[in-house]
Structure formats: C-alpha cells, structure tokens
Amino acid sequence: MQAKLVTKIDANPLLSKHTNENALLRVAAYCRVSTDSEDQLESYKAQVAHYSEAIAKNPRWRFVDIYADEGITGTQDKKRKDFMRMIRDCNKGKIDLILTKSVARFARNTVDSLKYVRQLKSLGVGVFFEEQNLDSLKTDSEMLIGFHSVMAQAESENISANVRWGIQQRMKSGTFAFRYNILGYRKGTDGQPEIVP
C-alpha cells in the first residue's frame, strides 16, 4: 500500500482573528450620505448612532471609530476624506472589521468598491454590508458585492442623468433658479442677477 501525501495548509493569521473566540475585534463603521438635505442629514445621524450603539453592545468588539462623509458623492473615492482616512487606518493595522449600511453607502463606483474590498481582504479586514447581509471575508461574497456595486453605480448614473435633464428643461422654460453665491453678483429687485458695485 502506498503512503498518502498530506499537505498542511497553515491558517492565515490575518483571517484567524475573525474566528478566534477569545480575540476582541477592532471594529469601525463607515457612514455616508450624498446630499445636505434635511432627510439625508437625519439618515446620517441615524447611521452614526446605530453603529456606535451596535459596536458598544457587542462584548467581542472594541470600538475604533466612526468614519463618516456627509454630503459627499460615493462615486469618487478621493473626495471622501473620512473614507480615505479609514483605508489608511486599515493599512496601519488599526481595524479588523468595518460595518456599513449597504454596498451603495460604501461606494457607488464598481471599480472602487471591488478594489477596496479586495485590498481590505488582503489585510484581513472584513467589511460587513448590513442591508445585503454580506461579509466580504466569506469566499462567495465578492460576486454578490460586485453585483450590488453595479446596481449602485447604475442608480447613481440614473439619478445624475435625471437631475441634468431637469436642469436643462428648467433652463429651456426659463424657470431655472439662479443661485446667487457667485462672487460679485446678487439678486436684483427684478429677480435678475445684478453686479455688486
């Protein structure tokens, strides 16, 4: 009888901290809203409160920080200062797990979404997307995260197209509301822009 060759594959130490019952996970949350409207600001406050409480309640978690971008688009990573700060902290080894409301809150750009999920996974940092119930460290999650990222990006592009169309229609009809935050102009008595002397 021939002896069987057994290959031992050691556990990845970066990933094993997520399965070790005694280890405290260093947990952070990422929150984002895309506009400064009143209902969006309430959503922003609710997200921050929800994750602060959820992290504090779990005895296996240690609170790191709440990273939050208010009134910022999710399509461009460089514009999201707190998102980029969170990524830097992950690279420094300060975070084990990130909680976020949804794939759309994490990023509305498919390339960025997958790039950062993969980068964080290589560091052993998981991202949990609450709305989709997805854990980025699970082997089957990347395809689902990619699918939700594509949907989030398409929704963002659709909203932008609708806003542009609405502005163009209001300009054509003469009902476009001119904003008077341009240096050197103010609203005149006739409702038209006038130069500030």
User: How high does pLDDT run on average in the chain?
Assistant: 76
Alpha-carbon distances, residue 40 vs 28, 43, 119, 154, 170 (angstroms): 21, 5, 29, 20, 24
Q: Annotate 88-113 with DSSP letters as a single string.
A: HHHHTT--SEEEES-HHHH-S-HHHH
Please report the pLDDT score of residue 14 as a whole number. 43
Please report the pLDDT score of residue 61 as a whole number. 94
> Could you give the CA distance from residue 97 to residue 112 in angstroms, rounded to a whole number?
18
Cα 48–Cα 89–Cα 41 angle in degrees, nearest 5: 20
Q: For 74-105, what is each residue's pLDDT tens digit? A: 456 777 899 999 999 999 999 999 999 887 77
Q: For 4-41, what is each residue's pLDDT tens digit? A: 666 555 444 444 455 556 678 999 999 887 655 565 66
* DSSP three-state, residue 193: strand
Please report the pLDDT score of residue 110 as a whole number. 73
Q: For 139-157, what is each residue's pLDDT tens digit? A: 676 666 665 555 655 565 5
Which pLDDT band holds residue 185 (cuts at 50, 70, 90)? confident
Which pLDDT band holds residue 106 (cuts at 50, 70, 90)? confident
Please report the pLDDT score of residue 176 as a whole number. 67
Average the pLDDT over each of 47-51, 73-77, 126-130, 179-183 and give the range with the smallest value.
73-77
Amino acid letter, 111: V
pLDDT at 158 over 70: no
Q: Global pTM? A: 0.64
Which pLDDT band holds residue 43 (cuts at 50, 70, 90)? confident
